[in-house]
Amino acid sequence: MAQQGLPRMLIAGTQDAIDLVRAVLEKDVQLVPALSVEAAVRGLGPNIHLILCNVRFDDSRMFDFLDALGLDVGITLCESDQGL
């Protein structure tokens, strides 16, 4: 459950990546999950503090998403040997 006052993190990724990040960081950040470029763009806003995007996001469209960004925000890209 999201807690007020926590930093908001947009996770643009596959369902597996979103589930993993939720399990690891749920108590530390308020997650804004997105499974597609369109959903990720809709989830952006001035209250997003960090974006985590895995390389398999929306059929490997992470660079399309990054091109659509216009925010001054930290971006972390990730890949896992376990299909995340």
pTM across the whole model: 0.73
Residue 64, pLDDT score: 74
Residue 77, pLDDT score: 61
Q: What is the DSSP string of 17-80?
A: HHHHHHHHHTTTSEEEEESSHHHHHHH--TTEEEEEEETTTTTT-HHHHHHH-----EEEEE--
Mean pLDDT of the chain: 79
Give the pLDDT confidence of 48-69 residue by residue, as tens digits: 888 888 877 777 777 777 777 7
Give the pLDDT confidence of 13-55 residue by residue, as tens digits: 889 889 999 999 989 999 999 998 889 888 887 788 888 888 7
